[in-house]
Structure 1
Amino acid sequence: MLAKHFPLVGLRLTTPRLELRLPSPDELAELGELAAKGVHDPSLMPFIVPWTDQAPEAVARSVIQYHWLRLGDWVPQDWSLNLVVFRDAVPVGQQTVNGHDFGVTREVSTGSWLGKAHQGKGIGTEMRAAVLHLAFAGLGAEEATSGAFEHNVSSLAVSRKLGYRPNGTKRCAIRGNLSVEHKMRLTRADWERHRRVPVSVEGLEPCLPLLGITAAQTR
């Protein structure tokens, strides 16, 4: 079985409305097709790497290739877990959680996108709450970081709702223009105070070596 050699395929996060997990090949194709239909206002770029500035078929292919790339170059010291978000068994977006030397830093970062048809329904909050539960409750993280450009008010609102605090800014050149990224940081104490979404995690323990920690470090 694949899970014997790469147990992350058995990892499941479940919230009241959502399931987050790695996709099957057909589900990954659906995710790419969802992205090709649009994930943001074309006049504003919410991503540091403007991967949506392509023809729809290229956007879909880039989602698929990036998913394979991050699984293919996985190492416990530097990982990026790109979980597909399912609602009623249909892909609605992607939620990423990253760890760099996590066993030492005990810090994760997150990023995400949602198909336009699924925005404005509280899904962004619920899916980020899921990976924060994975990080803090499942992996014993101490801090989580995120960031969004100043025009990405929905992402910044999610961060504030979940307890993040401002952590500085970064000036970026996006599409040849200045965009200011607002950095956000969430401590374990603030996560505890703001956690409202019930989350269950399945299949985590065999994944721990791939995430750079031992079971003892999660407590």
Structure 2
Amino acid sequence: MEVLIQIGGKEIFIPDTIVNVWFVAIVLIVFALVVNSKMKKAKLDEEPSNFQLILEVAVESIDNLVKTTMGEQNLGFAPYIFTLITFIMASNLSGLLGITAPTSDYSVTISLALITFVLSQYWNFKNSGGLLGYLKGYTEPMALLTPLNVIGDLANPISLSFRLFGNVMGGGIIMGLLYSALGYFAPIVTAPLHIYFDIFSGVLQSFIFTMLSMIFIGGKEA
């Protein structure tokens, strides 16, 4: 649902995808608060509930994924990786609720990719021992490759964002065309396609985005 705000005689149009970003974020924040409350009440001498076991498995799986992909020394990135994959997956799956997936908006995917880009550059700077070491990294293995190294770094957030945006947007367009063409018969025919585009592809794309983010950040370690 689009939102139109009038401020000082000017109209500000907020597209539905941005509204849905806030919707997904609020839902996840409330969920996190509920989880935090339940974890504080959990007792070590009591058998954990099924809810707690699922959360423990999820956290442990992300920790193991970070250790395997980025190294155990980079385990501090696990909270960011967990947040990233949870947000993207929730955004992709929100299409099942009949709303426009936030990740079908390029401004959302490029924002997520830029966060990863900033983290990767910060990690590169930190592990290079300062500005000179950071700049020297772009001249390796030879100075002639400096422009290519710079372009390669700048291309990472673009490719990362377009991959997620293209897949989610493409699936949404295909489903929209089918609903328009099939009319009342659409729910019967499109059910298997929803499983693919909204569930399988949505989960897969969130995993791919997260894996590439870990590779980009972890690859900056000296």
Instruction: State the TM bucket, normalised to the shorter chain.
Output: under 0.3
With structure 2 as the length reference, what TM-score do the two structures score?
0.26
Which has the higher Rg, Structure 1 or Structure 2? 2
Name whichever structure is richer in helix by fraction: 2
Name whichever structure is richer in strand by fraction: 1
With structure 1 as the length reference, what TM-score do the two structures score?
0.26
